[in-house]
Every structure is written in structure tokens, then in C-alpha cells.
């Protein structure tokens, strides 16, 4: 029997889909437009808004992920921010690049697009530090004006 664990004090607002074997800790705030694949863990006091979080990813306590696509097996450690980058340039559509093609999103703001096996930590000055152990073809690029 597949289950998810949602601790007391967590708030989930529709639309929200929680997959098998997910864990949502106390005082987590899941705003509308969130899809959690299977085995996703969200730590205490995190906030997730309008995001897709894929299988096996973990978002530790005191994080914010907004308007983001988090790939498989991504580990976002405590206190990181994946927030709405707004491209304010003329013709500022956010463009994704898959290694060969530029793909228009129709959006002028976007949070983050970390691929599987990314790790997010904090540097000594408190800034988010995105690292990845190997090269890949997952990039997020701004449209050129």
C-alpha cells in the first residue's frame, strides 16, 4: 500500500499532487500548483509554490522553491532559495536549452531548473551555492534581447 506522510501543521493548498512515499514535514507550506513525484521529502518550514519536484528529491528545512522544476534525486540543503527570476529586458522570455535546441517557455519569470544529482548548499557568506558533480546538458538561459 502506497502512502505519504504529512506531519501535523503542514499546509497544502490545491491544486497539489503528492506522490507515493513522500514526506512533508511540520509547518511546511505547499501553495497551489505543486506536483511532488514519488519519494520526495520536504523539510520543516519549507515553502513550495508552483513547482514540479521529481522522484527522490529532497528539500531541507527553511527553503523556498517557487516556479521551479526540480529534477530527480536533487538535494537542496537548508536555507536555499529558488525564487522567481524575472527577466525585465525587452522581449524577456525565459528560454530553456536542452543541449541542442532553445525552447521558449512563454514566461518572463522562472525559479530554477536543477537536474538530477545537483546539490544546493550555502556558502560561508550565506549565499546559495549550486554545485553539480558532473557535466550534463541541462541549462537555463535568458532570451537575448
Domains identified in the chain and CATH numbers: 5-83+110-132 (2.160.10.10)
Average predicted confidence (pLDDT) for the chain: 76
- CA separation for the pair 118, 22 (Å, rounded): 19
Name the band, by pLDDT with cuts 50, 70 and 90, for residue 128. Answer: very low
pLDDT tens profile 38-94: 999 999 999 999 888 999 999 999 988 888 888 888 888 887 777 666 556 667 777
Catalytic residue among 31, 61, 119, 132: 61
pLDDT tens profile 18-32: 999 999 999 999 998
Alpha helices, DSSP H, located in the chain: none
Residue 61 a catalytic site member: yes
Measuring CA to CA, which residue among 93, 102, 106 is closest to residue 143? 93
Name the band, by pLDDT with cuts 50, 70 and 90, for residue 139. Answer: very low
Residue 88, CB-side half-sphere exposure with 13 Å CA sphere: 1
pLDDT tens profile 82-91: 766 655 666 7
Helix (H, G, I), strand (E, B) or coil at 94: strand
Amino acid at each position: 500500500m502506497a502512502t505519504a506522510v504529512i506531519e501535523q501543521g503542514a499546509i497544502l493548498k490545491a491544486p497539489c499532487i503528492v506522490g507515493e512515499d513522500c514526506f512533508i514535514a511540520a509547518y511546511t507550506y505547499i501553495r497551489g500548483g505543486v506536483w511532488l513525484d514519488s519519494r520526495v521529502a520536504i523539510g520543516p518550514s519549507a515553502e513550495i509554490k508552483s513547482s514540479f519536484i521529481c522522484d527522490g528529491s529532497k528539500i531541507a528545512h527553511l527553503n523556498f522553491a517557487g516556479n521551479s522544476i526540480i529534477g530527480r534525486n536533487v538535494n537542496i540543503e537548508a536555507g536555499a532559495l529558488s525564487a522567481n527570476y524575472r527577466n525585465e529586458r525587452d522581449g524577456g522570455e525565459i528560454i530553456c536549452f536542452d543541449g541542442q535546441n532553445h525552447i521558449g517557455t512563454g514566461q518572463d519569470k522562472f525559479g530554477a531548473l536543477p537536474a538530477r544529482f545537483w546539490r544546493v548548499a550555502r556558502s560561508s557568506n550565506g549565499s546559495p551555492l549550486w554545485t553539480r558533480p558532473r557535466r550534463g546538458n541541462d541549462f537555463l538561459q535568458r532570451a537575448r534581447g
